[in-house]
Structure 1
Amino acid sequence: MRFTRITLQNFRNLPLVQVTLRGRRTFLCGQNAQGKTNFIEAAGYVTALRSFRGAETRALIALGQPQAGMAFSLEHEQYGESRITVTLTSQGRDVMWEQGKVTRLAEFIGKFPTVTFSSQDNQFLRGSPSLRRRWLDLTLAAMDASYLTSLQAYTRAVAERNMLLKQGGRDAGALDAFEHELAGHAVVLFAKRAAGVQELSDLFRAAHAKLVPEGEQAGLVYSPDTAVTVREEFAALLVKNRPRDTLVKSTERGLHRDDLEVLLNGRPAKQFASEGQQRCLVIALRLAQAAYFKLKCGLTPVLLCDDVLGELDPSRRVKFWNSLEGDPQVIASGTSLPEADAASWQVLTVEDGKIL
């Protein structure tokens, strides 16, 4: 899969840009706060119809404008030449492609896979478990519509249970109903997360090995809050925890408390890895995500590299390029041109919301 043309109107600080992408390597060059990241953010939107920054729809629309528009032309191994249009308003989004209007995210997510490498990824190791859960959920949901359906239903059930807890938990019948539904989806999600992390861990270990000196070994471990294998057992745990949950007005146990642990040579990376080692680990996680997408859907994802390769030393940058398989399209950004093989890049200059 590759983008051939991207048109944006009133998307963040980009009033109107029309970019034809040639070849497999495009580099956006410009100073900070000119619009490079915004362009990459828009390109990544086609995978899950959401910003990799986690921004709300309203934040994507230029200040003072009622709506924003995005149009993408792509070459796709399964759908041929495809065109996707997205209209963003303060009320939501409207998405169209050759198959018709997109009414359910599960019918669209993951069909146009991209993987975004961002400087924000450095928080993956040091940040809260919610960052790691979000990455895992987006990765698995992009390739498994049933995972997304179960996750959405689980999240709704937790929200409904929390609402009842805030009301004092007096409606035992309603709590029973939501806990029964919650437990059913939890069993499905637990099994899919455990299997998914096992596959991702193997891909992560292989990707990391291509970036680092021999002797460093990475690992990815699923750390569930509760092992949910039997629906009735988890439902009973929720009943047992009702008094405490009512006090704190929140569901304190469950898959919404899960975490992932990243290891380096068998030890927690956030405690023992150096800055350079941590950068390689998060890049390897993104490479593993790309490999997982290709494994599951047979498509080579587009790689969107937002000013991250400059953080690697020259030898690790060379290893990064050598590690890429399947000749993916790469759209990268930075404040200076790539040091090596510059002739192979289509270079675009970004200045004050204009891309030339």
Structure 2
Amino acid sequence: MQIRAIALQHFRNIPATRLELSGRLQFFVGPNGQGKTNLLEAAGFVTALRSFRSADAKHLICHGQPEAALAFSMEHEQEGDTELTIKLRAGVKEAWLESTKVTRLADVIGRFPTVVFSSQDQQLVRGSPGGRRRWLDLTLSATDKAYFVALQAYHRALAERNALLKRGGGAAQLAAFEQVMADHGVGLIRARRAALAELAELLTSAYAHIADHAEPAGFAYAPDGDHEDAASLAARFAAMRNRDLAMRSTSSGPHRDDFDFMLHARQAKTFASEGQQRALVLSLRLAQATWFHRRSGVQPTLLADDVLGELDPARRQRFWAALPRDAQVLATGTTAPDAELGDWQVFAVDHGEFVPVEAKAG
């Protein structure tokens, strides 16, 4: 997949712009705070109609404006030329594919895959379990509609059970939602375990390339209870009722799963250096891109937001060499890319304006 044009209006600090993108490599250069990341944030919307930086749409709309608009023209391996339009208002998000309004997120999520390489990614290694779980759920949802549907059903039942716990609901009421959670939750556990096993192989390969075989890398899945069937998971929910009623929240289940990044069979968040952690999350995103391509047959567009500052020159060069040769790359930085990295279409970014400049040729 390649994005051929991006039009934005009142999106963050970008009042109005339309960019025609030619070739496979685009680079947005300028000082920090000018709008480079905002452009990549907008491009990432095509995958799941959400920002990789903010959960609240009101932060994405230019100050003093009632709404923001995003429009994309894309070339797609399976669907040909495609138009996607998105409008954002406070508390409201609307989208159209061609001229048809999107009524279900499941009709869009993962259809136009992008993979974001961000400086925030290091929190996936050393941050909270919720961030890792969110990444895993989005990755699986983008390639497996059944997983997405099960995830939605599980969390709806979880929300209902939590509401009952706050009201002091009875055992029969709680059991009804626990059964729904168990039926869908055991599928989530199985899918996560299988996916992490496959992604671990891809992570190992990518990390070996970037780090030049410096140390073996992988994952360790840490489910919140090792349940092989719905009956055992439902029994766990039932056993936790008294505690959960006291806590007024569901304290156990797939919504509390986690996984660790490993180097030399040790937890990377504890033992890895800053450079190793940076190489790990770059490798994770490369693994994610390969996963998307294998599962969907669509090559993701890669969005690289000034991510290479923590790497030494050799690892930085190996990262660029590891990117898929047929993938579109939209990248940002405070200085223009090195000439040997390829033929870039370059835009200078200044206070939300994007001006084409002479491309760097390799």
Which TM bucket (shorter chain)?
over 0.9
Matched, 1:148 2:148: yes
SS of equivalent residue, structure 1 residue 210: helix
C-alpha contact (below 8 Å) 1:107/1:145 kept by paired residues = no
C-alpha contact (below 8 Å) 1:186/1:228 kept by paired residues = no
SS of equivalent residue, structure 2 residue 142: helix
Deviation (angstroms), 1:344? 1.1
Deviation (angstroms), 1:309? 2.2
Deviation larger for 118-127 or 99-108: 99-108
C-alpha contact (below 8 Å) 2:348/2:354 kept by paired residues = yes
- CA separation of 1:30/1:234 partners in 2, compared to 1, >3 Å: closer, same or farther? same
Counterparts of 1:188 and 1:64, CA distance in 2: 45
Cα deviation per residue 1:132-151 (whole Å; 9 max; x = unaligned)?
00110000000011111111
Structure 1 counterpart of 2:158, which letter?
V
Partner of 1:354: 353
How high is the TM-score relative to the length of structure 2? 0.95
Partner of 2:359: none
Partner of 2:246: 247
Structure 2 counterpart of 1:256, which letter?
H
Matched, 1:29 2:29: yes
Deviation larger for 229-238 or 63-72: 229-238
Deviation larger for 146-155 or 229-238: 229-238
SS of equivalent residue, structure 1 residue 143: coil
Matched, 1:48 2:85: no
Partner of 1:258: 257
SS of equivalent residue, structure 1 residue 337: coil
Deviation (angstroms), 1:100? 2.2
Cα deviation per residue 1:298-356 (whole Å; 9 max; x = unaligned)?
11111100111233222112101211224211000011111342661111011111111
C-alpha contact (below 8 Å) 1:310/1:334 kept by paired residues = no
Counterparts of 2:207 and 2:101, CA distance in 1: 40
Matched, 1:293 2:292: yes
C-alpha contact (below 8 Å) 1:71/1:86 kept by paired residues = yes
Matched, 1:5 2:5: yes
Counterparts of 1:284 and 1:342, CA distance in 2: 19
Deviation larger for 67-76 or 228-237: 228-237
- CA separation of 1:180/1:323 partners in 2, compared to 1, >3 Å: closer, same or farther? same
Structure 2 counterpart of 1:291, which letter?
T
Deviation (angstroms), 1:285? 0.4
Matched, 1:108 2:116: no
Partner of 1:160: 160
Counterparts of 2:272 and 2:65, CA distance in 1: 45
Counterparts of 1:229 and 1:342, CA distance in 2: 48
Structure 1 counterpart of 2:229, which letter?
V
Structure 1 counterpart of 2:300, which letter?
P
Counterparts of 1:257 and 1:113, CA distance in 2: 26
C-alpha contact (below 8 Å) 1:305/1:333 kept by paired residues = yes
Q: Which aligned segments of 4 or more residues in structure 1 are displaced greater than 4 angstroms?
A: none
Cα deviation per residue 1:33-88 (whole Å; 9 max; x = unaligned)?
11111100000110011111143122111111111100000111111111111111
Partner of 1:190: 189
Matched, 1:217 2:216: yes
Matched, 1:344 2:343: yes
Structure 2: segments with no counterpart, 5+ residues: 356-362
Matched, 1:63 2:28: no
- CA separation of 1:210/1:342 partners in 2, compared to 1, >3 Å: closer, same or farther? closer
Structure 1: segments with no counterpart, 5+ residues: none
Cα deviation per residue 1:73-130 (whole Å; 9 max; x = unaligned)?
0111111111111111113211111372211111111110100000000111110000
Partner of 1:302: 301
Partner of 1:315: 314
Partner of 1:93: 93
Deviation larger for 284-293 or 17-26: 17-26
What is the identity percentage for the equivalent residue pairs of Structure 1 and Structure 2?
52
Equivalent positions of 1:114-153 (< 5 A) are 114-153=114-153
SS of equivalent residue, structure 2 residue 5: strand
SS of equivalent residue, structure 1 residue 294: helix
C-alpha contact (below 8 Å) 2:274/2:310 kept by paired residues = no
- CA separation of 1:246/1:343 partners in 2, compared to 1, >3 Å: closer, same or farther? closer
Counterparts of 2:203 and 2:210, CA distance in 1: 11
Partner of 2:20: 20
Counterparts of 2:33 and 2:46, CA distance in 1: 23
Counterparts of 1:315 and 1:215, CA distance in 2: 13
Structure 1 counterpart of 2:146, which letter?
S
Note the aligned Cα RMSD (angstroms). Answer: 1.3
Partner of 1:84: 84
